[in-house]
Chains A and B, each alone.
Chain A
Amino acid sequence: MSSLAEHSPRKGQSLEKQVDTVRVFDQSFYWLAVIGAIGIGGVLLWIAVQIGLSALPAIQSYGVDFLTTTTWDPVRNIYGVLPQIYGTLISAAIALVIAIPVGIGVAVFLSENFLPNAVRTPIALAIELIAAVPSVVIGLWGIYVLIPFLRPFYNFLYENFGWIPLFSTPPRGNSLLTLGLVLSVMILPTIIAISRGSLIALPRDLRQGALALGATRWETILRVLIPAAFSGIVGSIMLALGRAMGETMVAAMLVGNSNQITPSLLAPGATIASLIASQFGEAGREQVAALLYAGLILMILTLIVNILAEIIIQKFQNVE
């Protein structure tokens, strides 16, 4: 309000009036910010309601059977997403099986002082960059570099362990296993960043106490630090699960988009996201409705996972 001291009030306007306008202006700015903030929740709600409403016609025509039907037939207008739900869950599970131990391991390694800071910082940066790579570029790389690279391993698995149902089909490259492997790398940054953050945030006394009692460094880590940071780690895993289930381009490019349920991980499959991405382009009216229904299911799955993750992480932060 320095302007008031320097300049005389404008003609025809008393000082009070000017102060009033400033106050009104100030108030409206406050409310603008409030609207902006509440608008975030509004957008979230809008997305949920909008997708729910547009799925309504399909919900009415296909009902709950949509979840248990295994056909996707635009010609006869029979739609069901059981194979896609199966593929979404299986590929996410493969990704988690790999990413949980590796992610927690890396988080520990980077939160301890095994490496000097000058080495640790670039490594942490590189891991953050994995999350920055566009998924369509990862998909391109997966098709032309990773799949040819993995083929001998797949053949080996099939030839030697083909009697296990998990590897019982001739490998085709595009498969749930390929997708799971790539997803595991893509969700690692999420697990590492949040787990590492909660490990670093632990009070020093915990570590010092354990070491003073004679525990080795890894006994301290495994029995004291990881249990103490457990909720942060679990939260990071939930977030990673949400990412894995919703990842679209990599799924559409690497999973093979085949509408089937087999126990074999070497067989092509489909996920809900890959179904939407690969079918939407040439979909007619009925099929678009069915795809919106599929989108609603994906949204419900990811919302549950993400909300749980947030609750777990927030709870952890409040304890601190």
Chain B
Amino acid sequence: MATTEDTIGRTKKINLTRSARTPFRSYFDFFMTFLTGAFTILTIVPLVALVWDVVRQGIDRLGIQSFTELPPPPGLEEGGFGNAILGTLITLGIAAAISVPFGVLAAIYLSEFGRGTRIAYGVKFATNVLAGIPAILAGLFAYTVVVLTTGGFSAFAGGVALSVVMIPIVVRATEEGLLLVPQEMRQAAVGVGATNFQSISRIVVPAALPSIATAVTLALARAGGEAAPLLFTALNNNFWSTDIWQPIATLPVLIYFYAIIPYEAQKEIAWAAALVLLGIILIVSISSRLLARQRL
């Protein structure tokens, strides 16, 4: 025990042997660590459960016929969802053809020309707000712009709707990739007399190409799983179709329709299609994220 004087001169005994860290503070710390750790595990449980259930329910029905055959009419058993896989690829192709050039150009502006300007600030703001727009509104937009003017549901309308979903992802990820290119490379290009276009097209973009590819892949993975924008644009089609002006089947829409109708065979096909869709998206997402991390 030692003594000390407080501010008005009274002598007080203070205990120097005992830590100021009372048991309560220690227990509280332990409790909070435990609690947040539990939260972390709790967050991942649904993902693991979902993947496990999709694999368990989908694997039985999955076979070569899943990729090559048409879905069965209600009441029949056999069949697959080959047309929906093809349809997803076609709509994604249209979406990529619109969103990739557009998004990459915008990203080039943001990282090469407009860094720090008010315009760039505004464009980034618009990109982020666009990313927050619900996918179903992208569908309504494409419905009013494409379906109503061309007179019918079509794969093209679906592609337009998905491109709205893809654009912000492409812009943001491509810009990040371009920003990773060292400033020295640009200076060296300009130093040997390259114009902006030459320096960007021959030096900066090739150097950032892997990140741009990752950006596009992530955007495709995201858009490929969207059903909401396709519900009243690409609609659905029970047959093979490659005509971009006709309705087309896609995996997400097929899963939605088959999940809510009461036929056992269709339900099984929905699970198998979910397994294919989820498998592709998870593999693409994991590998592109790992690649992106390696580059950093």
Contact = CB atoms under 8 A, between A and B. Distances in A.
Interface of A: 1-2, 4, 22-23, 25-26, 29-30, 32-41, 43-44, 46-47, 50-51, 53-54, 101-102, 105-106, 108-110, 114, 121, 123, 125-130, 132-141, 143-145, 185, 188, 192, 214, 216-219, 221-222, 239, 242-243, 245-249, 252-253, 273, 276-277, 280-281, 291-292, 295, 298-299, 302-303, 305-307, 309-310, 314
Contacts of A188: 43
A136 B227 contact: yes
B39 interface: yes
B222 A132 contact: yes
A226 to B, nearest CB: 12
A43 B123 contact: no
A136 B168 CA distance: 21
A134 B278 contact: yes
Contact of A44 (B130, B148, B192, B194): B130
A273 B136 CA distance: 7
B203 interface: no
A102 B43 contact: yes
B106 interface: yes
Interface in B113-166: 113-114, 119-120, 122-123, 125-130, 132-138, 140-141, 144-145, 148, 164
29 contacts: A2-B192, A25-B197, A30-B113, A35-B105, A36-B101, A36-B104, A37-B110, A41-B122, A44-B130, A54-B148, A101-B39, A102-B43, A105-B39, A114-B37, A128-B289, A136-B225, A136-B253, A140-B255, A140-B271, A141-B50, A143-B260, A218-B33, A239-B132, A242-B132, A249-B227, A299-B134, A303-B129, A306-B128, A306-B133
Contacts of B222: 132
Interface residues of B, number: 96
B263 interface: no
B126 to A, nearest CB: 4
Contacts, number: 275
A292 B134 CA distance: 14
Contacts of A305: 132
B134 A273 contact: yes
Interface string B272-285: 00100110011001
A145 B52 CA distance: 11
